[in-house]
Structure 1
Amino acid sequence: MTPYLHEHPRRAALINELHARPAPALTAPCRMAHLAFKRIERAIDRDRSIDRAHMAALCARFGVAPPAPEAGHHFADFGRFRVKWEMHSEFVAYTIFAEGVSERPFAENPMRLLPNDWLASAPGVAVAAIHAELRPWEGASPGEAGPPPEAAGQFTGESLAGCATAGGAARVFGDFRLDAEGFTRFLMLTRPEASPRQMGRMAQRLLEIETYRAMSMLALPVMREIGPRLAEAESALVETTQAISAPERGAEGDDRASLARLTSVSAEIEAMTARTAFRLGAARAYGAILWDRIAALREERIEGVQTLQEFMTRRYAPAMRTVESGGERLENLSARATRASDLLRARVDVALAEQNQALLHSMDRRADLQLRLQETVEGLSVVAIGYYAVSLAGYLLGPLAAKIGVEPKILTALSVPPILFGVWLFLKRLKSRIAEDGGH
């Protein structure tokens, strides 16, 4: 690396990723077997080490170099056959290549070249097993109609799919059915003008089409399994929503019951979403890769044979639409549960607002009554204080009344109004001062 460039630590790894899985160069005749094992529920890092160790064990048995400690792919030549090993996010794939073919197509599966005990100990479960053969095509012209004689008896006519590719220099056929050994089969015919690299890329695309088809369709049984639970949750949500909007609905007790039901339904929906989210996302990604690989074949129609794209459109696409429909249904149900929760929350907020309003009215009435009682008490206080003040004034004015010749009672009576007014004015000022101090 040039010393004056500060390289990103992952730059080389990201560049190498573009060249991590090159297509092999294939020359007819040859045969190949492709096995894809999906990892079981374990930690991904542990799976990768187990897969790498399994490939290293095969290399050690035949005395060839094992994969590097952190490698995610490896190509090894075992003499009689070659093995291409690849690790993916969810599965690990082994492709076995062997030169030559038998007179009868598919009579010799190259998988039999591998040790039985090694195959039996492969980590994970097989999701794809493909037997493919590349044979020279020395028959009629590229525009020949119908399937070739080599395909007779090897494929089911109703399921047979095929096309011309590589500019008409090659043909591929398959029916996506399992043979007696549990493998799907592809027959590839090539003319001399097709290059080995072209044939390698064509074979790789066919193997990936079947592998990604199998991986994407793993979502179908998951969606079928949750279908009844999805219907139950949908029915429960409808009933709860109807109960929330019922005009004869009660108040607090009904809201609590609806909230409990809605919480239960929402929890069930979230559990289904958590269970299916990864599988649905993976199915969409695998499906996109599958259609990309079919497009990369640049299929040319063979009269009397449906193309691979037509086969997938008729057989594969409906299954994936079922998966997509289930995913959309789950998303819509989750959104509806959220809206129902918002509706119930709004109803509870309105009820709380009404309760608060009633409480405020009650507090206003209580304050008004308290004010009236206070005013009454203040009036009584004026009378009581005035009574005692007049009594004291009578004692003070008694001697004065004798000197001026006025009856003491008359003089006491005349003192009542100013005394009461004075008491009232004193209490009023005292109340105002207390109010001012309270305002501060």
Structure 2
Amino acid sequence: MTSAPFADHPARRLVADEVHARPIVFVPAKGRVRRIAVSLPEGPDAASRAMARFAQWCRDAGLPVPTGRQHSYEAMGCSVTWELHTEFVTLSWLAAGPERAAWPEGIGLEALADCTLLVATRVDLVDALEVPEKLIPTFNLGSLCVSWIEARTGQIASDFKPDDDGFTRFEFACGALSTVRRAVLVRRLLEIETYRTYALLGLAPARERGPELARLEDEVARTLEAMSEVDTVEEARETLDLLHKMSVAAGRLGEATGFRFAATFAYADVLMDRLGRLDEESVGYASTLRRFLRNRIDPAIATCRAFEKRQEALAGKIDSAIRLLNTRIGLDVELQSRALLEGISETGRSQYRLQKTVEGLSTIAISYYAIGIMSYVLGGAGLDTPTKQWTLALLVPAVLLLVWLALRRIQHRHGAGGTKLS
């Protein structure tokens, strides 16, 4: 064998195996197939721990160890298939010959002891073209579903009611179907019940968390209404703190329901796909599986979608309110800063005017004293009064100018020195 001249992509094996991850298991035209689906415990490593537990059980039972997410084996006279899914494990088995017990020991149920049971269903295979008429009264007539499938080469019946052992029952008349089509349809029926049940899991948190969501919606509505009366920065910050708390509460609510709703929508899509592939035709006196389940599941899915949209709308309102308040606070702070700067500017202008006034007064005062001194000097020089007065009058402008220039020079030197120090 010649090897490829390339290194394998890390996901090549995974992608190739995924196509064959859920192979069909061939079943006889007469018998009973049972399946249970158990939810894994919480925790990020729940799937790996479930795989390890089952592998250990296989070793203890002397069976081959699983190498993938599906493992088929023979145990206690039963053909068993174990499958690991994202959040649950299924165990399906077919007893060879007459069935002995609904919950047989030694087939692997022990490896699921720490899981919780959610789905239990059985498919009774009938080697006939139609479901025997005598079996119809054994179903609940209020929820009876009977339909032709595969271009009227088979027929199925169910009421989706658990029997005394807790299993939902399907009667499957498959006498005219090939071995492959029979196996495919048995798996499809088992998947319909599994995905139908897991799709409805989202209804519980939608109902349980409904009052909490309604309370948050009411609080946000009242807060938004009160925002129009917020006048001060302090009030805006108090409202902003309250909105942040609501945002945290809404986030926790989304975390609590987000995964469940996403899984619900995914399971519902797969369920409708499986129902559509049955290619049902009504028998006339009962509902088809598709019509019956859609009438009951669609409202539940719509409830979950409405809850999710309400959560998104609530988060959007809170975010918008927070942005508005942040803008309001920023604007108020900017206005306050502007007012403060204007006050500082006005103070500077007042100081400047005062400085000019003081400078003028200082010039007059110094000049006054300078003229007084000159008057004494001129008087001592022996000038007569008229001559002294005319001399002083002529000196006044010069003294004022010299004093003013001296003060300006001192002021200039003081300012230059301050600049250098800074």
Per-residue deviation at 1:50? 3.4
Q: Secondary structure of 1:177's match?
A: strand
Distance 1:266 1:187 in 2: 51
**Match status 1:131 vs 2:122:** yes
- Relative to structure 1, the CA distance from residue 416 to residue 115 in structure 2 (aligned partners, 3 Å threshold; closer, same or farther) is same
> Are the aligned partners of 1:131 and 1:185 in contact in 2 as well (CA < 8 Å)?
yes
- Relative to structure 1, the CA distance from residue 381 to residue 110 in structure 2 (aligned partners, 3 Å threshold; closer, same or farther) is farther
- Relative to structure 1, the CA distance from residue 9 to residue 349 in structure 2 (aligned partners, 3 Å threshold; closer, same or farther) is closer
Which is further off, 120-129 or 30-39? 120-129
Match of 1:204 among 176, 187, 193: 187
Match of 1:96 among 84, 93, 98: 93
Match of 1:232 among 184, 200, 215: 215
Distance 2:135 2:317 in 1: 53
Distance 1:388 1:109 in 2: 131
Listed one character per residue, the Cα deviations across residues 31-59 of structure 1 (whole Å, up to 9, x for unaligned) are: 11111110122332x54233442364256
> Are the aligned partners of 1:134 and 1:190 in contact in 2 as well (CA < 8 Å)?
yes
**Match status 1:29 vs 2:9:** no
Distance 1:118 1:127 in 2: 14
2:145 corresponds in structure 1 to 161
> Are the aligned partners of 1:402 and 1:408 in contact in 2 as well (CA < 8 Å)?
no
Distance 2:85 2:107 in 1: 24
Structure 1 counterpart of 2:124, which letter? E
- Relative to structure 1, the CA distance from residue 13 to residue 51 in structure 2 (aligned partners, 3 Å threshold; closer, same or farther) is closer
Tell me, which stretches of 5 or more residues in structure 1 are unaligned?
Answer: 102-107, 140-146
Distance 1:321 1:160 in 2: 24
Q: Secondary structure of 2:281's match?
A: coil
Structure 2 counterpart of 1:64, which letter? L
> Are the aligned partners of 1:58 and 1:118 in contact in 2 as well (CA < 8 Å)?
no
Q: TM-score, normalised by structure 1?
A: 0.86
Q: Secondary structure of 2:282's match?
A: coil
**Match status 1:365 vs 2:346:** yes
> Are the aligned partners of 1:34 and 1:130 in contact in 2 as well (CA < 8 Å)?
yes
Distance 1:59 1:195 in 2: 36
Distance 2:63 2:247 in 1: 56
Alignment of 1:383-402 (within 5 A): 383-390=364-371, 393=374, 402=382
Q: Secondary structure of 2:120's match?
A: strand
**Match status 1:72 vs 2:63:** no
Match of 2:174 among 190, 203, 207: 190
> Are the aligned partners of 2:38 and 2:118 in contact in 1 as well (CA < 8 Å)?
yes
1:334 corresponds in structure 2 to 315
> Are the aligned partners of 1:72 and 1:87 in contact in 2 as well (CA < 8 Å)?
yes
1:104 corresponds in structure 2 to none
Distance 1:199 1:117 in 2: 25
Q: Secondary structure of 2:392's match?
A: helix
Distance 1:288 1:117 in 2: 30
Structure 2 counterpart of 1:286, which letter? Y
2:48 corresponds in structure 1 to 48
Distance 1:332 1:186 in 2: 42
Per-residue deviation at 1:369? 1.3
Per-residue deviation at 1:72? 1.8
- Relative to structure 1, the CA distance from residue 239 to residue 332 in structure 2 (aligned partners, 3 Å threshold; closer, same or farther) is same
Tell me, which stretches of 5 or more residues in structure 2 are unaligned?
Answer: none
Q: Secondary structure of 1:112's match?
A: coil
Listed one character per residue, the Cα deviations across residues 419-440 of structure 1 (whole Å, up to 9, x for unaligned) are: 1123324545666787799699
**Match status 1:285 vs 2:276:** no
Distance 1:252 1:391 in 2: 62
1:143 corresponds in structure 2 to none
> Are the aligned partners of 2:53 and 2:111 in contact in 1 as well (CA < 8 Å)?
no
Distance 2:65 2:279 in 1: 36
Q: TM-score, normalised by structure 2?
A: 0.89
Structure 2 counterpart of 1:13, which letter? L
**Match status 1:113 vs 2:110:** no
1:8 corresponds in structure 2 to 9
Structure 2 counterpart of 1:154, which letter? T
1:19 corresponds in structure 2 to 20
> Are the aligned partners of 1:33 and 1:109 in contact in 2 as well (CA < 8 Å)?
no
1:105 corresponds in structure 2 to none
Distance 1:405 1:346 in 2: 78
Paired residue total? 419
- Computed over aligned residues only, the root mean square deviation of the Cα atoms, in angstroms, reads 2.9
Distance 1:121 1:339 in 2: 48
2:395 corresponds in structure 1 to 415
Alignment of 1:213-362 (within 5 A): 213-246=196-229, 249-362=230-343
**Match status 1:180 vs 2:164:** yes
Structure 2 counterpart of 1:207, which letter? L
Distance 1:117 1:284 in 2: 31
Distance 1:169 1:128 in 2: 28
Distance 2:188 2:378 in 1: 126
Which is further off, 407-416 or 173-182? 407-416
